[in-house]
Structure formats: C-alpha cells, structure tokens
Amino acid sequence: MSRKKPPQITNDEQPVNPGLPTPLEIDEVDEGDEALDDAASTLAPISLRLTDDAIGQRLDKVLSGLIPEFSRNRIQQWIEDGHVTVDGATAKIKTTMLGDEQIEIAPQAAPQDHPYEPEAMALDILHEDKSIIVLDKPAGLVVHPAAGNWSGTLLNGLLHHCPALAQVPRAGIVHRLDKETSGLMVVAKTLAAQTDLVRQLQARTMKRQYLALVWGTPQLSGTVDAPMARHPRDRIKMAVSESMYAKTAVTHYRKLATGLIDRKPVSLLHCRLETGRTHQIRVHLQSLGFPLVGDALYGKHHLIPVFPRQALQAARLGVVHPGSGKFRQWAAPLPQDIVELLQRAGIDPALAVIPEMSDDPDPVSGDVDDDY
C-alpha cells in the first residue's frame, strides 16, 4: 500500500514547500472540500459491502464515511459520472441505503493529481537572470492552478517559458496576486533562490507597494491596524476580526489625488503593507468605508459596472537579490484600463507615481498569506 500524503491544505492553513520555510500564501479561489483529497491514494477499484449501519442513509454520505481519504464532493462527482454501482446498477447520489448492498467504485483521478502542463502564453517579463524572474501580471490571469482553473494559469506559462522550473516547488512562485489584481511578481528560478525569497517574505523585508482607486475621500494619510480572519459566514471573504484566529494586519495609505466618477468622489491612494494578509488592502479600505472601485466582492454593488475589476495595481516591488545580495527594485507601468479609469475620474495618470524605495533593511512589508 502506498504511503499517504498529508491532506492538501488551502486558505487559513498553508502547505509547506519541500525544504522551504512556510510560504504563507493562499489560492485566489477557495478549493473547498476538494482540499481533503489525497492525491497519492491508489486509484484501484474499490469494493464495499454495506452493513446495517448504512440503513436509511444517502449513498454519498455512507461512502464519504467509508473512504474518508476522498472528499464528499469528489465521491459525488464519481456517482454523477457513473463510476459507482450499487448491486450492479448505476448509482444515484440520493439513493437511500437499505443495508447489505454491494458497492463497486472506480475512482477517477482529479485534475490536481496530474502534473501541471506547460502552456505557451505571452509573459510581460521586466527582468530575468539565472536566479529570478520579475514580471508584470495582467488582470484576469490566475497565478496558480486551483479548482475551476486547472490550466491557463501563470504557473502553466512559466513552465513553458522556463522548463527547468518543473524542478522547483510551485514553479518558483513564492507570492501571489489575486486574479483581478495587476502588477509585479517575483518568481524564483532555483530552489536556493526560492528559499531566500520566502525568508524575505517571512522577515517582512520584501517591499511591495500598491496603487488603488477607492470610492470616497479618505484623510490625507493614515494607518489601518486591524487583525483579519476568514469571514464568519462567507468563506470566500476575509474580514476585520477580533477572533482568536485573526492575524495581525497593518496597511499604511497616502492620498495622491481625488476626482469624480458619475458625480461621486473617488481617491487615488498609495498603499504600503507591513503584512500581506489575503485581500488585505481591499478589506482594510472597505472597513474604513472606502471600498475599491470595481471590487465585486467587497465593494458597493450598485457601482460595480463602473469598472470590471478591482482598481488595484501592484506598482513597485523591491527584494534583496538572492544571487548578488544587493537590493533591487522594479516599477510597473499603469495598465491601460486603469489609465482610462483615472482619466474618466479627472485624475492625471502622471500623479499615480510611487517614489523609489530605500534599500534599508527595516521591515516594511511581507508576512504574506497571499493576494490582495
């Protein structure tokens, strides 16, 4: 019998890359029950004879108790696809068990059980050397395969661009941006570089700064020091929280300009993070009453049509280069959709500038869970 892998972990608890410190990152999409699947489990046929304990229970519930190494969602999919029989007849999920039935299951591999495939795609690479790749991710591109997005991700594109990344955990990805957030990311090309960058994230010495357009007019500058945790009623969301599970989250912001969209005030902000919790900028600004323009998850829903995504750009990135040991930084140009949005608001895009960062080692960002 093959040795079981630990269950894949998503969201609040994060997986540890082999040989690396915990990367403290999260998928853009909640993988839900599928996270319980054991990808190393054998896919040999399974035969089960039910006992009286199953009387009156639904088939999917019975099976999830008998083969807990597979999630209930996955078992339901097998039943729907005709891979489960009860006494020789094709089963249905809601079939009520009478006891003593003979169950035959033909397990099917889940998409995440297969190696990720290289896929050709255009990558906007600002810098590349033997240790790292710095790229400008467009809005709409998922960073890492997950439920609902098993292909067409940045990871697939990286594997095509640099096949050697297949030997590096997560194809060298050490931090993420939300699907609809644009801007800068750094990718490691070697295990040593990945280890170094992850440690910089954990030490809060990797520097990342953002530009955001929000509804309303915040004060000139401020700091949001508000712990965050998973939303108590909506697993897709994060929230400011006093829960014992909440993690420290600190966002500094500065107002760069103000304008109007459809006669409603908007403000262009420069955001600097001390931590990097999931959706941190979006949640912190929303908690002040200034949600991001276009944010369908946390924003003002009657104003969503104004912009098709959250108006958030990872505009500047600074790291200590894993090879040279010297501080390097890069800036990404504003994408055209945000340029046009600022012009619509009467804001000069030339004001959307973040000055160069100093190379001092004082922690200013990091402690990353994931995307923003």
The set of catalytic residues is 178
Radius of gyration, alpha carbons of the chain: 23
Q: How far is it between the farthest Cα atoms of the chain?
A: 74
Task: Using CB atoms within 10 Å of the CB of residue 350, give its burial: 0 to 12 exposed, 13 to 18 middle, 19+ buried.
Answer: exposed
| Polymer length in residues for the chain | 372
Residues of 217-242 as b/e, b for ≥16 C-beta within 10 angstroms?
ebeeeeebebbbbbeeeeeebbbbbe
DSSP label of 266: E
In order, the DSSP letters of 33-63 are: GGGG--TTS--S-EEEE--GGGTT-BHHHHH
CB atoms within 10 A of CB 335: 16
Extended beta strands in the chain, E state: 46-49, 84-86, 89-90, 102-105, 125-128, 132-137, 182-188, 207-215, 221-225, 228-230, 238-240, 250-261, 264-273, 312-320, 327-331
Using CA atoms, how far apart are residues 43 and 344, in angstroms rounded to an integer?
A: 56
Phi and psi (nearest 5°) for 116? -70, 140
Q: 274 and 364 in contact (C-beta within 8 Å)?
A: yes
In order, the DSSP letters of 159-183 are: HHH-GGGGGSGGGGB-S---TT-EE
